[in-house]
Structure 1
């Protein structure tokens, strides 16, 4: 990307970056419109950046490790680089166990104190909007949903909506690339109160894909979940297809 920002920068952000900043979108887990700046900052813009700033501010009051907000102006969020790798690439003894330990800390937060709602009715409304606005990339579906339409996935989600939710504070996109070595959580724009399986389902999926069944077993042991509810695992994996 070089020295050209992908969007117009607010004055305070331009001042922070200096006269000749370097922008790059070539980085680990490149997703969510995140841009690396000068090798020391991460920048996002838009509604997702606003949502993440709100959640970072709240999580900091709860004592969990989160990235330092270097600047927030208009709808541009700038985070300081934490200086450590994510569990997708860090050399740790067990990525599965590390993910479980960080998740247990998050899921232990009191839901009464969390102002962000991510319960299933809220997520289905958002999913419908995603589908109606043409924002779902069906080409990016998991292999077991290949060839399906977003409309068909949404119809199944509505028909199979779980009757009970085991509510905790969830991350909402809990993958190895969103947990840094040491347990810091990043990419928090979907955080809110929801069924714990919203996180468990994605953790199991990505650990299996990236590291194999041994790390799935390590995650389950450290999270103290001996027999996962496969119906809810499948449901929340399917829900993630629309986001």
Structure 2
């Protein structure tokens, strides 16, 4: 990555320690005399910047330290990731946080992530060869990404239940304070979509009893298994 000189100086310049952050290929963690930061670069960083600014009115998100061109600098929140040594209450924290996110008025959200948008994005990724074929085959009984995409078109739900979704709601993308508050991170796919987009992704990553705690805290008594399976398949292409 190459950054504007003022951003390089802002995060500590040559005195800073730069390391890869495993949350994505376009993210670096920087620790230096000026503090600890996450730097993102590329189209997704631009997308995330707009979503961070909007969501800050409604929820806890990382502070934007700087934004120039396609470079986004975020402050280290200092809270624990629910993906690393998750506490026993991780499912409950995620359920409460997602319930609050989904309660944001849809009409207030300017970002569209409904099925038309997501299916178009999935089609582009399949055409460009960006989907992990081995992972898709392992998850879908040997099917190719093209075959999974065709199934998604054929089995598309008749309607959507739109809410403001995170888009990649995994334990790694939720930070928690010791009092149980949550911060949402990696928000490049935030937007209006069916609530099952978030539910499907979360339940892919939560084992029992955390999965049951998550659903109880979210307030869902009965799971639509067909929708859950559909959005899990969609997630595998995104």
SS in 1 for 2:227: helix
Alignment match, 1:36: 29
1:19, CA displacement in angstroms? 3.0
Q: In 2 relative to 1, CA 157–147 (structure 1 residues): closer, same or farther, beyond 3 Å?
A: same
Q: In 2 relative to 1, CA 191–71 (structure 1 residues): closer, same or farther, beyond 3 Å?
A: same
CA distance in structure 1 between the aligned counterparts of 2:101 and 2:137, rounded to whole angstroms: 27
Alignment match, 1:14: 8
Give a deviation string over 1:24-63, Cα, whole Å, max 9, x none.
11x4x5325221011711111111000100000000122x
Give a deviation string over 1:170-215, Cα, whole Å, max 9, x none.
000000010001210000000000000000011111002xxxx211
1:209-224 alignment, distance < 5 Å: 213-224=208-219
SS in 2 for 1:97: helix
Indicate which of 38, 45, 52 corresponds to 2:41: 45
Alignment match, 1:3: none
Q: Which segments of 5 or more consecutive residues in structure 2 lack a partner in the other structure?
A: none
8 Å Cα contact 1:117/1:193 also seen in 2 = yes
Aligned positions, number: 230
CA distance in structure 1 between the aligned counterparts of 2:169 and 2:137, rounded to whole angstroms: 16
- Larger strand percent: 2
Alignment match, 2:200: 201
Q: TM-score when scaled to structure 1?
A: 0.90
CA distance in structure 1 between the aligned counterparts of 2:134 and 2:19, rounded to whole angstroms: 25
Alignment match, 1:57: 53
8 Å Cα contact 1:50/1:77 also seen in 2 = yes
CA distance in structure 2 between the aligned counterparts of 1:200 and 1:186, rounded to whole angstroms: 17
CA distance in structure 2 between the aligned counterparts of 1:180 and 1:123, rounded to whole angstroms: 26
1:146, CA displacement in angstroms? 5.4
8 Å Cα contact 1:170/1:198 also seen in 2 = yes
Alignment match, 1:113: 108
Q: Which segments of 5 or more consecutive residues in structure 1 lack a partner in the other structure?
A: 1-6
CA distance in structure 1 between the aligned counterparts of 2:2 and 2:191, rounded to whole angstroms: 30
Q: TM-score when scaled to structure 2?
A: 0.92
Give a deviation string over 1:116-159, Cα, whole Å, max 9, x none.
00000111111111111111122333843253211111111111
1:81 aligns with 2:80: no
CA distance in structure 2 between the aligned counterparts of 1:79 and 1:118, rounded to whole angstroms: 24
8 Å Cα contact 2:137/2:143 also seen in 1 = no
